[in-house]
Amino acid sequence: MRALAAGRASARSLLDRLSVALLAHPVDPASLAAFRFLFGLVMALAMIRFIALGWVDEFYVRPAFHFTWAPFGWIRPLPGWLMHLHFAALAVCALCVAVGFHYRAAAALFFLGFTYVELIDKATYLNHYYLVSLLSGLLVFLPAARLWSVDAWRGPQVDAAKVPAWTINILRFQLAVVYVFAGLAKLNADWLLDAQPLGLWLAARSDVPLIGTMLSERWVAYAFSWSGALYDLSIVFFLLWRRTRRVAYLTVFLFHMMTGVLFPIGMFPWIMIAATLIFFPAEWPRRWLRGSNVVSDTQPVVRPAVSTRVAALIAAYCLIQVLIPLRSHWPGTHHEWSGKGFNFSWRVMLVEKSGYVEFVARRPSAATEWRVPVSTYITERQERMMAQDPEMVRALARRIADDLRAQGMGDVEVRANAFASLNGRPVQPLVDPRVNLAGPLPSHWIVPLERDSDVRLTKFSPPDPAPVDRH
Amino acid sequence: MKSFTLPTSIIAIAALLVSIAAARLSVEARTGKTAVSKRAALDGIAQGVLLPSYAEFAGRCSELAVAVDALAAAPTAASLASAKQAWGAAHLAWRRAQTFAHGPIADLSVYGRIQFWPSRRQSVERVVRAQRPIDDDYIQELGAGAVGLSALEVLLFDARKDDAARVTSFAGPQGERQRQYARALARELVNKSQLVLNAWRGGFAASFAAGGQDNVNLIVNDVLAAIESGVQNRLRGIIDLQGAAAIAPDLIEGALSGTSQQGILASLVGAKATFSGGDGAGLDDYLRQLNAPAARRIEAQFQKAIAAVKAIDGPVERVVVANPQIVVRAHDECRALEIMMKTEVVSTLGVTLTFKSTDGD
């Protein structure tokens, strides 16, 4: 009994020490301030880039139909000029975050405004946009403007020599989740045994100067795939370990620069290069900025306290961040093929999928059917994204049916001839062409991914072409 | 019994995976593939297919002009037959060459003037009835519906006349205008085809390979356009029309000349050659290097589609009445080819699709 009690006490003591080290331990706010500045700056550039490339019109203004997310079907884009204004405002908010001017309000507005944009259309989903939403949401609650900010300069009362460790560790945790789950997702046959989709992507870059010819070599694809998986799985460990941190960050820099050059992944490399600096000791910016005073641990500081409520909220957030991507490792479905559990799971760079969809409306009462052009609803970009995702195919089918019903065709049914090819596999049907997507769906409406390519090849046969009534 | 520790198990699993990956890599290495770069593939297509296709078309146009001149000089059943034969050869040469709709043919605004379809019979008849002398200036001012191969087809193969009446329409003082018109049309075809050929020979073919991924995108999109618009939709249109009491020849490309099946086959063969670079290097070789099974499937599907179109064995508008299944099968094979191209080829070659005809339905 005494041993048990001693064990409990020892465990409790360890837990206390761990919680102090991870949550309450006072640390220099310098790295948090640097994170705020770099994140705000990159985001401001990203918003300006979005406007400059004409994406506001292309993604949000021009489409007549948007693929909304299930619980947020009520979200709609603003009218044209207001949408442009919205992005301009996001850029201003990001700059305010960078310089720490009305920091919390700016971070909150940026988080809400950016997340609103991301919820408008599923076709614009990118993992790093999701990461931006999460990081900006966290920033709202972090005291990142205590140092080197306009707020600190204008009101010394917000300045403080130390911040609790959780404010930095939660950012580290968030980035660790991205890397580790990205690594776990790469432990699959396509990635490890067939070096796909990297094999396709690298070979397509064979005209890159100097290294181009090498990129089309299959062994290079295997080397990239295996080292990419190992990198994602191990980089957090090496960033956390003091002895390897500098070299690890150098590889972060080189890795993301290389992926930025080879693949069209936009601002993602810059976000990760800036964000992973958070793994350095909290005072790293002071060492870089000669002349600034390094706050030593010997200086008298007020020990930041972490309440049980805050600790519980942090624990809940971390648990959610682990559970959400974990759902994509649930067996029973091919997540890259069906799209189920794929989003919000850090399944990064795993898919090369091209699809083809045509919608066929049918009126059983009039014994007629006809193909429905999609360009009145969606843009070419949306069409490309839809052709990869059964749920998006279904969403447009329902919209088409709604429109036809509004025209008095009460009994209309909408089917889709949808085909896709995943990671170099033979093309195969994506959804069952016999299923009326505008009605109740049977459980088998998504055609499972065939495992045997020879079977797929011989079984592939397009459905009978629909007789077309030319209206 | 010695139990496995976690690190030992991890190392064993990793070793197993490495072995499987290495085995797959060595199987690929043993297939003896020849490395074909993107540049070599594009160069093979430009020098091995596109340039020779334009040269053949220009040659056929010259032969057509000679035959039309002979018809105009002495309208007889024999000279008409010779002109019709020359028209057919030029038309099929064009259908094989027309897949790639970019480059000089687009820059010089020539594409629509070589062949515009559906043909505009009324526009052609208006020119025959008009008073203005027919010279090259007049031809230049005419719209695409009244020039090119389609306009010449109306003059040589008028469905409302038999051959004797067609010969008569070219003869005597009353046929003067039709003779002038036919000769001017053939002359313009020679000029335009030569213009395009000269541009290709003058450096475009040599520089084509340097276009990289942009030109791969153009080739794949144009091949898709040829398969979808030039082949599949043509067949689909005829299948849809089969219920009509009488299929109007003006609604079917090549129906006047009885070449609808040959034209569709030529388009498909031209599309395949444009993709594969003929016997030399092409995108099929490049595709094989990236994804050998996909390259085999595409080649097999091309062969199946060509065989299915060949099996129609006669003008499509006639065969569809007697044996609709054979036309439906050809359509389905071409559709399967289109879907494979739009998914497997697009995905493997990293192509951005810009062409789609579905909204034109």
Which tens digit of pLDDT belongs to each residue from B220-238?
999 999 999 889 888 988 8
Q: Is the dihedral of CA A445, A448, A449, A453 positive or negative?
A: negative
DSSP string, B305-352: HHHHHHTT-S-HHHHHHH-HHHHHHHHHHHHHHHHHIIIIIHHHHTPP
Q: Over range B192-217, report the average pLDDT.
A: 90
How far apart CA A424 and CA B81 sit, in angstroms, is 51
Contact A68, A398 (CB under 8 A): no
Instruction: Specify which of A72-76, A460-464, B317-321 reaches the highest per-range mean pLDDT.
Output: A72-76
Residue B158's alpha-carbon distances to A268, B84, B124, B167, in angstroms, are 64, 11, 11, 11
How far apart CA A79 and CA A77 sit, in angstroms, is 7
Would you call B297 and A426 a contact, using CB atoms and an 8 Å cutoff? yes
Q: Over range B345-353, report the average pLDDT.
A: 83
pLDDT computed for residue B38 by the predictor = 85
Residue B3's pLDDT band, with cuts at 50, 70 and 90, is: low
Residue A210's pLDDT band, with cuts at 50, 70 and 90, is: confident
How far apart CA A125 and CA B278 sit, in angstroms, is 41
pLDDT computed for residue A88 by the predictor = 98
Closest of A337, A363, A348 to residue A418, by C-alpha: A337
Indicate if the pLDDT at residue A13 is higher than 90.
no
Contact A23, A166 (CB under 8 A): yes
How far apart CA A41 and CA A47 sit, in angstroms, is 10
**Ranges A21-30, A407-416, B319-328: which has the least confidence:** A21-30
For A358, which of B328, B343, B358 is closest by C-beta distance?
B358
Cis amide bond preceding A325, omega within 30: no
Indicate if the pLDDT at residue B149 is higher than 70.
yes
Contact B136, B184 (CB under 8 A): yes
pLDDT computed for residue B32 by the predictor = 45
Q: Over range A342-353, report the average pLDDT.
A: 92
For B291, which of A200, A206, A427 is closest by C-beta distance?
A200
How far apart CA A446 and CA A425 sit, in angstroms, is 17
User: Mutating which of A206, A226, A350 best tests the B interface, going by the most B Cβ atoms within 10 A?
Assistant: A206
Which ipTM value was assigned to this complex? 0.73
Residue A442's pLDDT band, with cuts at 50, 70 and 90, is: very high
* Residue A416: φ, ψ to 5°: -130, 130
Q: Is A14 exposed, middle or buried (0-12, 13-18, 19+ CB in 10 A)?
A: exposed
pLDDT computed for residue B29 by the predictor = 52
How far apart CA A123 and CA A121 sit, in angstroms, is 5
Q: Is A330 exposed, middle or buried (0-12, 13-18, 19+ CB in 10 A)?
A: exposed
Secondary structure element (H or E) that encloses residue A403, with its range: helix A390-406
**Ranges A212-226, A405-419, B29-43, B181-195: which has the least confidence:** B29-43
Beta-ladder partners of A417: A358
Model's pTM, two decimal places?
Answer: 0.81
Q: What percent of chain A has pLDDT over 90?
A: 68
Encode A25-78 in three state secondary structure. CEECCHHHHHHHHHHHHHHHHHHHHHHHCCHHHHHHHCCCCCCCCHHHCCCCCC
Q: How many CA atoms lie within 13 A of B360 on its CB side?
A: 10
Contact B94, B186 (CB under 8 A): no
Q: How many CB pairs under 8 A join A and B?
A: 111
Would you call B358 and A354 a contact, using CB atoms and an 8 Å cutoff? no
In sequence order, what are the residues at sequence separation of 6 or more whose Cβ sits closer than 8 angstroms to the Cβ of residue A315?
A: none
Would you call A373 and B361 a contact, using CB atoms and an 8 Å cutoff? yes
Kindly list the residues of chain A whose beta carbon comes within 8 Å of any beta carbon in chain B.
192-195, 199-201, 203-204, 206-207, 213, 216, 218-219, 222, 226, 352-356, 358, 371, 373-375, 380, 384, 419-421, 424, 426-427, 453, 457, 460-462, 464-465, 467-468, 470
Q: Over range A306-322, report the average pLDDT.
A: 92
Contact B325, B196 (CB under 8 A): no
How far apart CA A10 and CA A319 sit, in angstroms, is 25
Chain A: nearest CA to B276, how far in angstroms? 17
**Tokens linked to A387:** 């052709």
* Residue A419: φ, ψ to 5°: -130, 150
CB atoms within 10 A of CB B133: 9
pLDDT in tens, A272-305: 999 999 999 999 998 887 655 555 444 444 555 6
pLDDT in tens, A36-65: 999 999 999 999 999 999 999 999 999 999
CB atoms within 10 A of CB A143: 20
Set of chain B residues whose Cβ sits within 8 Å of the Cβ of A194: 24
CB atoms within 10 A of CB B183: 17
How far apart CA B48 and CA B45 sit, in angstroms, is 5
Q: Tell me, rounded to whole angstroms, the distance of Cα A24 from its chain centroid.
A: 30
Query: Using CB atoms and an 8 Å cut-off, which of residues 15-54 of chain B contact chain A?
Result: 17-18, 20-21, 24-25, 28-29, 35, 37-39
Higher confidence at residue A18 or residue B343? Answer: B343
Secondary structure element (H or E) that encloses residue B13, with its range: helix B6-30
- What torsion, rounded to 10 degrees, do the Cα atoms B11, B17, B23, B24 define? -160
Beta-ladder partners of A357: A418
Q: Is B297 in the A-facing interface, judged by CB distances under 8 Å?
A: yes
pLDDT computed for residue B244 by the predictor = 59
Cis amide bond preceding A197, omega within 30: yes
Contact B229, B235 (CB under 8 A): no
Contact A75, A65 (CB under 8 A): no
How far apart CA B282 and CA B278 sit, in angstroms, is 7
pLDDT computed for residue A304 by the predictor = 57
Q: Over range B128-141, report the average pLDDT.
A: 88
Contact A27, A276 (CB under 8 A): no
Closest of B347, B229, B358, B220 to residue B294, by C-alpha: B347
In sequence order, what are the residues at sequence separation of 6 or more whose Cβ sits closer than 8 angstroms to the Cβ of residue B175?
A: B75, B168, B169
Contact B349, B283 (CB under 8 A): yes
Query: Using CB atoms and an 8 Å cut-off, which of residues 197-236 of chain B contact chain A?
Result: 212-213, 236
Set of chain A residues whose Cβ sits within 8 Å of the Cβ of B293: 424, 426, 453
Beta-ladder partners of A371: A360
Indicate if the pLDDT at residue B302 is higher than 90.
yes
Would you call B21 and A192 a contact, using CB atoms and an 8 Å cutoff? yes
* Residue A354: φ, ψ to 5°: -125, 140
Would you call A213 and B21 a contact, using CB atoms and an 8 Å cutoff? no
pLDDT computed for residue B311 by the predictor = 96
pLDDT computed for residue B361 by the predictor = 31
Indicate if the pLDDT at residue A470 is higher than 50.
no
Set of chain A residues whose Cβ sits within 8 Å of the Cβ of B38: 206-207
Q: What percent of chain B has pLDDT over 70?
A: 86
User: Mutating which of A58, A200, A224 best tests the B interface, going by the most B Cβ atoms within 10 A?
Assistant: A200
Would you call A375 and B335 a contact, using CB atoms and an 8 Å cutoff? no
Q: Over range A405-434, report the average pLDDT.
A: 93
Number of DSSP helices (H) and strands (E) in chain A, helices first: 20, 6
Indicate if the pLDDT at residue A413 is higher than 60.
yes
Residue A194's alpha-carbon distances to A186, A215, B17, B70, B359, in angstroms, are 12, 15, 11, 64, 37
Would you call B290 and A199 a contact, using CB atoms and an 8 Å cutoff? yes
Residue A106's alpha-carbon distances to A134, A156, A158, A327, A432, in angstroms, are 15, 19, 16, 33, 47
Secondary structure element (H or E) that encloses residue A419, with its range: strand A413-422
Higher confidence at residue A333 or residue A436? Answer: A436
Contact A160, A26 (CB under 8 A): no
Q: Over range A78-92, report the average pLDDT.
A: 96
Q: Is B304 in the A-facing interface, judged by CB distances under 8 Å?
A: no
**Ranges A175-184, A205-214, B108-117, B250-259: which has the least confidence:** A205-214
pLDDT computed for residue A456 by the predictor = 37
Residue B82's pLDDT band, with cuts at 50, 70 and 90, is: very high
How far apart CA B97 and CA B80 sit, in angstroms, is 25
Residue B16's pLDDT band, with cuts at 50, 70 and 90, is: low
Beta-ladder partners of B231: none
How far apart CA A52 and CA A181 sit, in angstroms, is 33
